[in-house]
Amino acid sequence: MPFLGQDWRSPGWRWIKTEDGWKRCEPFSPTLEDGSNQLNDISHTVILTGDDEDEEIYSTEDCEFAAKKRKKDHFRNNTDSQCFYREKWIYVHKESTRERHGYCTLGEAFNRLDFSSAIQDIRRFNYVVKLLQLIAKSQLTSLSGAAQKNYFNILDKIVRKVMEDQYNPRLIKDLLQDLSSTLCILIRGVGKSVLVGNINIWICRLETILLWQQQLKNLQMNKEVNNGLTLSDLPLHMLNNILYRFSDGWDIITLGQVTPTLYMLSEDRQLWKKLCQYHFAEKQFCRHLILSEKGHIDWKLMYFALQKYYPIKEQYGDTLHFCRHCSILFWKDTGHPCTASDPNTCLMPVSPQHFIDLFKF
């Protein structure tokens, strides 16, 4: 059997041997498997329609065509459906070549990479949320219809996860705020901007976002009743070490609101100085010096002032990786078919902004 694909250097398509010959595997959606089996059963039977006098017998080919059409309509109308692929990687190409025609889009990459499973991994959760936030700010109009469905389905799963686990709600609130602001601007300027899809669909999505924001606003943290050791029972040096582990100033402020002791530790000048030195260069300090009433540098105000002008360092437990040898984007634990002699030397971690930049032409 010839091993053919869009690019003779790529792994090629997956093929299955059947009674009728070799057939190429198509992208599948698990939610449609049961429906497709029923449609296939119908397509191989003879359907009789009409009155008693006039009965029309449809051929098997007509039934197959009708079954495929119903399957396609079901997929399009089902807003909860999401397009899945067996390969959890994507070849990134930006221009047409003799071997491969077309180019890879952001929406296609968003469909191919398994972000639904990624949000269940605490190491990847912040990474996916940051990526969705960047897409909401600048790349929302570049998403195809299928990519839009995947985007909002993943966003729905994120909101549900936060409501259940109460994990990092502030991050999701920022994402929804940016998304709602972008949608309001695009909907007001309809006709001037390009929005893929019906305007009424986008209005419904905006209403859903506002509902999510209200749910997160009313979110109440569960108080666990525990008679054992609590955070306030730890020694001061251990509490101080915990605060020094944070890389986000807002997390330090939030933890400082728990107890008076933590508030005292969170106001330590040395703590905020270390945080500024971690995120920003010394040249940036000189341009935005802020002095307190006593004449000392106010490192806490310095941190938030510098944050407005310079990007802070991003930390993620796990990220997407890009293989420079194969030009393939993938999650590291799922891997990809690499032909390099030493694949580890070709890997490069991809930040959320770098992910967006890969698809700017």
pLDDT tens readout for residues 56-105: 444 455 555 555 554 554 445 444 444 445 677 888 876 666 655 556 77
In a domain, 135, yes or no: yes
132 lies in the same domain as 169: yes
- Give the chain's mean pLDDT: 76
Residue 165 backbone phi and psi in degrees, to 5: -90, -15
In a domain, 60, yes or no: yes
The tokens for 27 are: 């992208």
In a domain, 87, yes or no: no
Render pLDDT for 116-153 as a digit per residue (tens, 0 to 9). Answer: 888 888 888 989 999 999 999 888 888 888 888 889 99
In a domain, 202, yes or no: yes
Under 8 Å between Cβ of 329 and 350: yes
The rounded distance, in Å, linking the Cα atoms of 250 and 243 is 11
Q: Name residue 250's amino acid.
A: W
Render pLDDT for 282-296 as a digit per residue (tens, 0 to 9). Answer: 888 777 778 777 778
Q: Which domain holds residue 180?
A: 105-217
Within 13 Å, how many C-alpha atoms sit on residue 147's CB side? Answer: 20
- H or E element that contains 291: none
Q: Using the 8-state DSSP alphabet, how is residue 26 labeled?
A: P
165 lies in the same domain as 209: yes
Q: How many CB atoms lie within 10 A of CB 89?
A: 24
113 lies in the same domain as 167: yes
In a domain, 343, yes or no: no
Question: Is the pLDDT score of 1 beyond 70?
Answer: no
189 lies in the same domain as 280: no
131 lies in the same domain as 203: yes
In a domain, 168, yes or no: yes
More confidently predicted of 280 and 11? 280
CA angle 296, 299, 303 (to 5 degrees): 150
210 lies in the same domain as 254: no
DSSP notation for 56-108 = EEPPHHHHHHHHHHHHHHHHHH-TT---B-S--EEE---S--SS--S---HHH
The rounded distance, in Å, linking the Cα atoms of 119 and 242 is 25
145 lies in the same domain as 196: yes
Under 8 Å between Cβ of 253 and 262: no
Q: Residue count of the chain, please give it.
A: 361
Q: What are the distances in angstroms from CA 208 to CA 136, 152, 316?
A: 15, 10, 29
Under 8 Å between Cβ of 98 and 134: no
71 lies in the same domain as 119: no
Q: How many CB atoms lie within 10 A of CB 150?
A: 23
CA angle 179, 104, 159 (to 5 degrees): 30
At residue 29, the pLDDT reads 43
Under 8 Å between Cβ of 250 and 223: no
141 lies in the same domain as 210: yes
Domain count, the chain: 3
117 lies in the same domain as 205: yes
The rounded distance, in Å, linking the Cα atoms of 127 and 125 is 5
Region of residue 272 (left: phi > 0; alpha: psi -120 to 50; beta: else): alpha
In a domain, 340, yes or no: no
Render pLDDT for 158-216 as a digit per residue (tens, 0 to 9). Answer: 999 998 888 888 889 999 999 999 888 888 766 555 677 778 888 889 999 999 999 99
Of the candidates 145, 134, 194, 154, the one whose C-alpha atom is nearest the C-alpha of residue 314 is: 134
Under 8 Å between Cβ of 82 and 157: no
42 lies in the same domain as 109: no
Residues 6+ apart with CB under 8 A from 22: 1, 15, 16
pLDDT classification of 3: cutoffs 50, 70, 90 = very low
Which of residues 260, 286, 308 is at a domain's end? 308
Helices 249-256 + 269-279 axis angle, to 10: 160
In a domain, 271, yes or no: yes
The tokens for 73 are: 């309509």
The rounded distance, in Å, linking the Cα atoms of 154 and 53 is 53
Under 8 Å between Cβ of 243 and 265: yes
